[in-house]
Structure formats: C-alpha cells, structure tokens
Amino acid sequence: MKEFPIDMQLRHLQRLKSLQKLKISRSGYIVQSKIYDSPKQAQLFAKRTTLTRLFTKQHDPELPHQLELPSSLQKLELECFLEITTPSWLWVDNLKNLKKLYIKGGLLCNMDEIVAMTVEILQLKYLTNLEMPWKDVMMLFPNLIYLEKVECPDLNSFLCDQNGVWMSKHNIKK
C-alpha cells in the first residue's frame, strides 16, 4: 500500500483483538504515491501532511478521537518510517503489552509523545534525523532492559558500547 496506516486501516487493525506482532514496512522515499529524489524532500512533504492531518483532526468532529493499535500487540516493527514525529496511534496509552519496538530507517526526528511504558527492547537503526537525549529515553521507556542503535548519528549521548548496545545492569544475572 502506498499509504499506511490510514484511519480506515487502523480501525480494521483494532478488530484484531489478539494480534501480537505487527510489521509496517515501506520502501524508498515514497509518500502518498509520489517518489522523491531525497529523504529531505520526502521529509518536507511528510511534515506538511502531518500538520494538515493534525489541523483536520482538531477541526472535524466527525473523525474518531482515538485511533490506536490493538492492545494485545507485543512487538511492533516500523521500517522506512515516513512520519517525522510520533504518530497519534503511538501516543495512546493502549499498548500495555508492547515489549519490543523496532524502528528501522525513515524520517523520524523525535519520539517525545510516544507512550511505551512497557517496552523492554528498543532497536533504532538508520535514523539520521532522530535527536533525543539519553535521559528522555529513560523517561519514555522506564522498563527498558536492552537498546540497540545503529547509524543514528544524533544519538551520541546514549550510553551504548562500541557495538551500539546498552543493557540494563538490573537485568544482568550474577
């Protein structure tokens, strides 16, 4: 699909009450059926689209207030993520069973509004625009026991080893 997830698709996903694993994958820099020459062009388009969507949701009482993923979800993988900010379907405090979150590639710049208190394993790969301090990671993901980052140049404050891995000391068995 050229655009995912749209509101209708999220409504259909909500019906899958026992869904445990979901992978959303896109290829290239395609946004709403247009192919862009560079990630920067795609990012500008995605920013405009996100702002338009936010404005529409605030001013259209017909739209449902809260679209979300099924609460049974335990693992979520996002590849070539074309949102620049955390989408509203990740804001909700619905993902109470989410243990693993993998974000690989894309335009994501920050994860400030994500609600993922139960995430234990976080993998961030090829996110050249993502900026966030280590203390924010610890606040957003208080149950984190394992983090891996690969080629995320603006995450240099992360307390990872030379392989880009961080493990909680509380998780190490003696």
pLDDT by position in tens, the chain (length 174): 556 666 777 777 777 877 889 887 876 554 443 444 555 655 555 555 454 445 444 444 444 446 677 788 899 998 887 778 877 777 767 788 899 999 999 888 888 777 678 899 999 999 999 998 999 888 888 999 999 999 999 998 898 999 999 999 876 544
Per-residue model confidence (pLDDT) at position 40: 60
C-alpha span between 62 and 115 (Å, rounded): 25
Per-residue model confidence (pLDDT) at position 96: 85
Within 13 Å of residue 30, how many CA atoms lie on the same side as its CB? 10
Amino acid letter, 94 = N
Per-residue model confidence (pLDDT) at position 149: 95
Per-residue model confidence (pLDDT) at position 45: 53
Instruction: Report pTM.
Output: 0.71
Per-residue model confidence (pLDDT) at position 101: 93
Per-residue model confidence (pLDDT) at position 59: 45
Per-residue model confidence (pLDDT) at position 27: 66
SS3 of residue 52 by DSSP: helix
Per-residue model confidence (pLDDT) at position 68: 74
Structure tokens at 139: 């606040």
C-alpha span between 69 and 13 (Å, rounded): 6
Per-residue model confidence (pLDDT) at position 102: 94
Phi/psi of residue 76, each to 5°? -130, 125
Amino acid letter, 123 = Q
Q: Are 88 and 123 in contact (CB under 8 A)?
A: no
